[in-house]
Amino acid sequence: MPDFENVNRAIQDVRPSLQADGGDIELISVAEDGKVTVRLQGHCNSCPMALITLKQGVEAYLKKVIPGVTEVVQG
């Protein structure tokens, strides 16, 4: 199972990119099965590209740097 603190540190790496576009991200939980739940905020919350950002950006990065991350979903 990925550690909450390690996932939170990795999210800090992607946060500046989201903030540059008027958005933000908050880590909600990390499940035992590796499912990470986040909350997109600001412009990211209502952006039509949010799902792409979540899957191809955040999820891809977390899977790359944190062993055990299986999926990232919005909660």
Per-residue pLDDT tens listing for the chain (75 residues): 899 999 999 999 999 999 998 999 999 999 999 999 999 998 887 888 888 888 999 999 999 999 999 999 998
2 and 36 Cβ atoms separated by less than 8 Å: yes
Q: Which domains does the chain have, with CATH numbers?
A: 4-74 (3.30.300.130)
Q: What contacts 60, CB < 8 A, 6 or more positions away?
A: none
CA dist 28 → 5, 73 (Å): 11, 10
Provide the whole-model pTM. Answer: 0.91
